[in-house]
Structure 1
């Protein structure tokens, strides 16, 4: 074989190798892009399932705290609208922010899972950090809207302390939902529950139980906006007046988001993967 023929063959093999590598990169990018699309569709589909119930409870808690409408009246009126005229319900201003909260949180959590899988990184810490930031930011946005829309005073910017308290409230809930269940589950298993049952019970009860702590923070943040200038004793009296109704409401509110919604998000995501491109994971 001549020297020119040898170099020609080497050049062809080099080009073929480079072409194969490029094709593999493009295929991998396409796979990741498809997976991320599935992540977002599944997240917002799950949000559509749970957001109506959460929106109803959230608005009822805030209008009850402000004195505009009792908790039971709020639940009755909005539930009636959802059942009789669902197309009008989803156009109400209180629905869209809640839909964004859960859709954004689920979609980001799903996407971090996908990115970490393809990068060979453990997803626990990145998923917790990203989900917390998104959830806290969107909840702060929603609460600022709800407080101004349904408060008893002329709409104005929320006090910085109220926004900070909302962030603390959501940090506690998200941290409990992500970090507490693995710690609680072994104790439940020691009591005789199976691992699956213990995991599910811990996942549902932990974020629900912490609402009995975070409700005080939530009501104080609202009260700072609705009743500025009151003394601590006066704030405390108003918080005590609304505490149990609001606590139960926030517990019920947590069940869809961290229970039904989490399960729905997982099933939608896995089902869509199978339909679109087979199982990626």
Structure 2
């Protein structure tokens, strides 16, 4: 009888742990979806303006203003278009995997949960980010080129010349760019938050908020040159001297770096903070219910 009672208690405890883990993973998905929905509009507008600036030389501020006004006037059309769906899927997947890996790692008491989170998040975000860039370049980069003279006839941009070697190089650069951003957002920012002295941040949530709103921004000082070079390689797949590519990329480097720094604030600043806060709130609710 004693063995049966112990086995019953063990099975009950195992079922409770499984239910608790399932509840936490469900909460993780909910937090990820809400956070992605929050940041997707701003990121979609900024990413489109960046691509049009880099590939079609359209004025960045004008593009941001026009796309923001269009989204405000026609929200349903904006939300149900392909670009918004791509951005939403990218961040919903990224936050879901980051949350889920951290939850499972903590449940298993894994000593390398942080590294596991970086690896799995990178494995999901980077390919999706590269796919997003390719789709955005195809959707917006091959649209009619802008003309300076009023009343001039739009001239279609020539089709991209395919070169597998150059395309693979562009993809590799996009992979490196996104790895830098993911490392700064999901690994470096939490680590640096632990180094902030209590005298500078007394509130328990202040430290991660400070680093989450700043560290991903600084990663763009490295990611932005890679971003421009990757776009140039993708759009000009014919043989071009590297010096020429770098020279052309540098023309847009200051404005692109500034814009990507602004872009990263909603994407991995506000987005990550909202995700962390919502996830923490949902987990606390589960803990209080179970207690």
Fold match, TM over 0.5? yes
- The structure 2 residue matched to 1:109, chosen from 56, 80, 98, is 98
Q: CA deviation at 1:236?
A: 2.1
Alpha-carbon displacement from aligned partner over 1:53-92 (angstroms, at most 9, x marks no partner): 1111111111111116332232122211222222111112
Q: CA deviation at 1:160?
A: 0.5
Counterpart CA distance in 2 for 1:248 and 1:35 is 37
Alpha-carbon displacement from aligned partner over 1:235-259 (angstroms, at most 9, x marks no partner): 1232122111211111011111222
User: SS at the partner of 1:33?
Assistant: helix
1:37 maps to 26
1:62 maps to 51
Alpha-carbon displacement from aligned partner over 1:26-54 (angstroms, at most 9, x marks no partner): 22212211111111111111110011111
Q: CA deviation at 1:230?
A: 2.3
- The structure 2 residue matched to 1:250, chosen from 241, 255, 260, is 260
Counterpart CA distance in 2 for 1:182 and 1:45 is 21
Q: Kindly tell me the number of residue pairs found equivalent between the two proteins.
A: 269
1:7 maps to none
**Counterpart check, 1:154 vs 2:159:** yes
| Contact 1:36 1:114 (C-alpha < 8 Å) held by counterparts | yes
Change (3 A) 1:55 1:230: same
Q: CA deviation at 1:278?
A: 3.0
User: SS at the partner of 1:69?
Assistant: coil
Q: CA deviation at 1:227?
A: 2.1
Counterpart CA distance in 1 for 2:96 and 2:194 is 29
Change (3 A) 1:269 1:279: farther
| Contact 1:273 1:279 (C-alpha < 8 Å) held by counterparts | no
| Contact 2:114 2:187 (C-alpha < 8 Å) held by counterparts | no
| Contact 2:212 2:273 (C-alpha < 8 Å) held by counterparts | no
Q: Which moved more, 1:72-81 or 1:173-182?
A: 173-182
1:213 maps to 222
Name structure 2 gaps, 5 residues minimum: 143-157
Mapping 1:7-86, distance limit 5 Å: 10=1, 13-67=2-56, 69-86=58-75
Name structure 1 gaps, 5 residues minimum: 1-9
- The structure 2 residue matched to 1:94, chosen from 83, 86, 93, is 83
TM-score, normalized by length of structure 2?
A: 0.82
Indicate the structure (1 or 2) with the bigger Cα radius of gyration. 1
Q: CA RMSD in A?
A: 2.7
Counterpart CA distance in 2 for 1:240 and 1:176 is 23
1:260 maps to 270
Counterpart CA distance in 2 for 1:116 and 1:80 is 43
Change (3 A) 1:93 1:233: same
Counterpart CA distance in 1 for 2:243 and 2:44 is 31
Change (3 A) 1:198 1:41: closer
Change (3 A) 1:111 1:159: same
Counterpart CA distance in 1 for 2:135 and 2:98 is 25
Counterpart CA distance in 2 for 1:187 and 1:116 is 23
1:133 maps to 123
From the two aligned structures, give the one with the greater helix fraction. 1
2:173 maps to 165
